[in-house]
Amino acid sequence: MEKVLKNKILEKKARIGIIGLGYVGLPLAVEFAKKGFDVSGIDTDHHKVDSLGNKRSYILDVTSEDIRAVTEAGLFSATSDYKVIGRLDVVVICVPTPLRKTKEPDISYIINATEKIAAHRKKGQLIILESTTYPGTTDEVVLPILGRNGAKPDRDFFLAFSPERVDPGNIRFKTRDIPKIVGGVTKKSTELSRIFYSQIIKNVMPVSSSKSAEMVKLLENTFRSVNIGLVNEIALMCHKLDIDVWEIIDAAKTKPFGFMPFYPGPGLGGHCIPIDPLYLSWKARLHGFEARFIELADMVNSYMPEYVVKRIAGILNKFRKPLLGAKVLIMGISYKKDVNDTRESPSIEIIRLLEKEGAYVSYFDPYVSELKIDGKLYRSIMWDPKAFKNRDCVVVITDHSSVDYEEILKSSKVVFDTRNIYRNIRAKNLERL
């Protein structure tokens, strides 16, 4: 069984299924299709399936031309029907793993996807989980579901974990350029996963187990979360001491060893960094271990939107303008520059807090035309210097490359820069984080 699947992969005859066609799944599906594999994308979101059926991409990292090319070549199709799993050789799970309101892991999407695979799978499939989760999920949750009715790994199926490492908007490092980690529940599962990903990725590194592969991802993002939390705290401290934190970081990073620059901001965003470390701390608590660094970093990072609002109130006070009734324009609603992804964006919490204080809030974002926050629909304003003049404060939250920040500063009463866009610029109407 192992040899048959291995040959199918090497000969590009393996039929691949990707469950979840978001920022991770769709680029992965397209990369395999470009290499000549027959790829089926599966998603319960009918809008995504319809868009792909019409050869239109909804992700900036994947062009509509890419979708059209692989679709017209007969190498890619999208469906919401899980029955297609019955004809596949490899199934990759790329579904969301959010946090509950209690900040505990919500792996219901993983469970639902695995249940569907178990209901429709055929013998000899390689099943790979890519969704970020706590160490032990593959062994403790996925394997028992697939093992119902006496099914066994290496005899009936192969199972592994391979953490996604996608960085939306990164032009230099795309899916095919980022080294891949694989860890199976058996040695055969690990090796088949290594062979599978090696078809599109040059550097694939096996680790000893699925649990180790799960831990790799959490270490990577916890490292970033903790260091961002540290530099955010330094930024708060520097403001109190009347020191320019950006100058301090620029000076410190001249040291060629022992220092890696991280930068403060209005809060963490995206699906990974705000969430993944909390998966790890939750799992650690189950084993009687308190992850103090992780919890403290989360406290600092979660406080940043509130701090931004307090700074806005203080800036307006200098102009004898209360936050109550003030017109505030948020520049950038996506969680990072040059993407249309708003998941966990600090802008959303900042808007909530501003409106709670009685401010009138609007936003501009070239990548996000509209967004609902707590049921209220917001639409991006049109680019118009007159609109900047009519706002009491313009706040740069997301530093999109295509925005004319010089025009914003020239046209606005006051600008609060949380991203150091106006580095080395001094102006009476400019405040920086």
Q: Cα–Cα distances in Å, from 212 out to 187, 218, 224? A: 13, 10, 19
Residue 276 corresponds to which tokens in the numbers above? Answer: 């993944």
Secondary structure (DSSP) of 9-36: HHTT--EEEEE--STTHHHHHHHHHHTT
Distance between terminal CA atoms of the chain?
59
Tell the residue number behind the tokens 């230099």, with chain if given. Answer: 172
The C-alpha torsion from 344 through 345 and 346 to 352, rounded to 10°, is -80
Three-state DSSP at 83 gives: helix
| Nearby residues of 51 by Cβ (< 8 Å), 6 or more positions away | 57, 58
- 8 Å CB contact between 89 and 196: no
Q: Counting Cβ atoms within 10 Å, is residue 255 exposed (0-12), middle (13-18) or buried (19+)? A: exposed
Residue 244 corresponds to which tokens in the numbers above? Answer: 């320019």
Q: Counting Cβ atoms within 10 Å, is residue 149 exposed (0-12), middle (13-18) or buried (19+)? A: exposed
Residue 380 corresponds to which tokens in the numbers above? Answer: 């991006």
- 8 Å CB contact between 270 and 344: yes
User: What secondary structure letter does DSSP report for 398?
Assistant: S
CA 207 – CA 39 distance, rounded (Å): 26
Question: What are the catalytic residues?
Answer: 272
CA 334 – CA 346 distance, rounded (Å): 8
CA 89 – CA 69 distance, rounded (Å): 23
